[in-house]
Structure 1
Amino acid sequence: MTHTIAFDPSHPELLLDLDVPTGLPPEFGWPVIVWVHGGGWRLQDRTARPDFSRHFCAAGFAMVSIDYRLAPEHPHPAQVLDLRQALRWLRRHAGEFGLDCEAIGLWGSSAGSHIAAFTALSAHTPRLPGETIPADDEELSTEVACVVDGYGPADIAALLPGFPTPAPRQEEPGQEPEPTPGERRATTPEEDLLGGLPPTASAYEGLRERAREASPVHLDVSDPPPFFILHGTADTAVPADQSRILHDYLSARGGESLLYLIEGFGHGFFNPGEVLELGPGIRLDNGRLEAEPETPFAADNRGSFDPEGRHPSFALVRDFFTHHLGGLER
């Protein structure tokens, strides 16, 4: 059964879908997986997601997919604040839906992985800048038990292209100057996450500082929750080095991390075929995780979950969550 509910009284337009397994919940409630959609922080909504029922509800997980405010109208950390409030809502209403509020994991795709990682790694901070917490939720935690990170940006500053440099030009006397290609270039998703392209090169340096502040790998954290990170080696939207950096960051701070680098995969492989993550006509590698189950990969395991040499798959993601959250195999 799917419940669609507004979870933030400050932003009633934001909804979550909660899919609960059939039957009676276990003694401590259903463990919960929260999906955070991709779309370059600028597109999509909670409906851009894998098949919850087929992959996860049947294995004893309650599945949640959330809306969040989109950039550039709502720059970072708006998206993180929305996820944090969704986590509080789930804990507030756990008894009503038979949920285990101590067994919540996050699963992000692309921009959603950035939001999930930042949320998981900043949970020790009671209130983030600009955060408004409903009075009844002040004492509710935003901590999570584990994270699955799919091809997400981890160091936003490293992805910024720099302020556009105008190309040299000459105008005829009396002719109005035309904008150059450099001046006309579209903003990148990372620039829009931070509020858009500043008007001057000096202001762009301020954007670089905000980029560091928005980067999960620049957070000061110890003992982070376990991560399972998956990335394609042919990803041109978010380079695989972003996941390598996150993997090293987590283990250096005492966390568990399992990194899968999938040979030749590009961006978006968690998405089903009908989800156009970056807009019409841009298909990325939608559906490829299921379509090519024997693709070569390299793994680096620095955690307690043993993948036993298995290929990346939705089943392996499910088993990672089962290891850290429980499920029908508990």
Structure 2
Amino acid sequence: MPRLPHSGRGRHPKRDRTCPRARPEKDRPDHPRVRRRRRRHTRAVGAPREHARRGFDAGRIVLWGSSAGAHLSALLALKPGMSNIVGVIDWFGPADLLALGSQSDPHNEAAEDSCDARLLGARPAAVPEMARAASPINHVHGASPPFLIAHGTADRHVPFQQSADLAHALEKAGATVRFDSVEGADYMWANVADPEPLFRTALRFAAEVTGL
């Protein structure tokens, strides 16, 4: 991601905290800091004056995230009325929090200290409505923006099936989606000898959906 500004494409700087560094009480969806962060990111996407001042076209935004960033990008893009989001690049993002635990370990659904449990404030099974609301797969609709989803088949942190299910849901809804399975790749593209093609594919997708 640090290479993106040098590619000639705009980027809104956003810090993404990984799960091990997160503080459970501050990661709950109803926590004031989480609400403020969500409002800040929404304003960043929907702030035409600010984007115009910086030379960006606020009417053609592509969201690009990996893992937790991809989860947030998908949720925001699938929100009704976000017509200025013209594409989403989703790299191994969680899509179905209710299924995440069982897909990670069929014998032990999400532990109390798992990333999804920290996000929700409880195991997903204990707060199913909240888990469904926080799952992009449950917000897919026919007018969803085009998605480019890429996921490693050997991902040990976010199950490959999460992206496969999201791609299937988007396709079933009639949305445009491209799903690239990266054979043998672990989380954060570990085991990928040369991630350059993944980066270039993402840039080409962004160019296509923005018409650049």
Work out the CA distance in 2 between the residues paired with 1:189 and 1:152: 12
Greater share of strand residues, 1 or 2? 1
SS of residue paired to 2:75? helix
- Identity across the alignment (%): 31
Residue in 2 that maps onto 1:152: 93
Relative distance call for 1:63 and 1:258 in structure 2 (3 A) is same
Work out the CA distance in 2 between the residues paired with 1:92 and 1:215: 31
| Number of equivalences | 195
Could you tell me whether the CA contact under 8 Å between 2:62 and 2:206 is conserved in 1?
A: yes
Structure 1 residue 105, shift from structure 2 partner: 0.5
SS of residue paired to 1:268? helix
Structure 1 residue 154, shift from structure 2 partner: 0.4
Could you tell me whether the CA contact under 8 Å between 2:98 and 2:132 is conserved in 1?
A: yes
Structure 1 residue 62, shift from structure 2 partner: 1.2
Moved over 6 A (4+): none
Relative distance call for 1:325 and 1:71 in structure 2 (3 A) is farther
Greater share of helix residues, 1 or 2? 2
Letter matched to residue 209 of structure 2: H
Structure 1 residue 68, shift from structure 2 partner: 6.5
Work out the CA distance in 2 between the residues paired with 1:186 and 1:196: 7
- Structure 1 gap ranges (5+): 1-48, 125-140, 162-181, 198-203, 270-284, 294-310
Please list the CA deviations of residues 250-283 of structure 1 after superposition, one character each: whole Å capped at 9, or x if unmatched.
11112100000011000112xxxxxxxxxxxxxx
**Map of 1:89-168 to 2, 5 A cutoff?**
89=47, 91-124=48-81, 143-160=84-101
2:201 is aligned with 1:320: no
**Map of 1:11-160 to 2, 5 A cutoff?**
49-54=1-6, 56-57=7-8, 61-67=9-15, 72=24, 73-76=26-29, 78=34, 80-89=38-47, 91-124=48-81, 143-160=84-101
Structure 1 residue 195, shift from structure 2 partner: 1.8
Relative distance call for 1:158 and 1:81 in structure 2 (3 A) is farther
Could you tell me whether the CA contact under 8 Å between 1:88 and 1:142 is conserved in 2?
A: no
The alignment's TM-score, normalised by the length of structure 1, stands at 0.54
SS of residue paired to 1:192? helix
Letter matched to residue 199 of structure 2: F
Relative distance call for 1:86 and 1:118 in structure 2 (3 A) is same
- Structure 2 gap ranges (5+): 103-107
Residue in 2 that maps onto 1:219: 139
Please list the CA deviations of residues 81-100 of structure 1 after superposition, one character each: whole Å capped at 9, or x if unmatched.
442122123x2312211111
Which of 266, 276, 284 does residue 186 from structure 2 map onto? 266
Compare 79-88 and 143-152 and name the one that shifted more. 79-88
Letter matched to residue 193 of structure 1: L
SS of residue paired to 1:145? strand
Work out the CA distance in 1 between the residues paired with 2:113 and 2:150: 27
Work out the CA distance in 2 between the residues paired with 1:196 and 1:82: 25
Could you tell me whether the CA contact under 8 Å between 1:68 and 1:83 is conserved in 2?
A: no
Could you tell me whether the CA contact under 8 Å between 1:121 and 1:219 is conserved in 2?
A: yes
Letter matched to residue 116 of structure 2: E
Relative distance call for 1:186 and 1:212 in structure 2 (3 A) is closer
SS of residue paired to 2:188? coil
Work out the CA distance in 2 between the residues paired with 1:53 and 1:68: 17
Letter matched to residue 200 of structure 2: A
Letter matched to residue 170 of structure 2: L
The alignment's TM-score, normalised by the length of structure 2, stands at 0.81
Structure 1 residue 227, shift from structure 2 partner: 0.3
Letter matched to residue 144 of structure 1: I
Letter matched to residue 76 of structure 2: T
Which of 178, 185, 191 does residue 117 from structure 2 map onto? 191
Could you tell me whether the CA contact under 8 Å between 1:146 and 1:226 is conserved in 2?
A: yes
Work out the CA distance in 1 between the residues paired with 2:23 and 2:165: 25
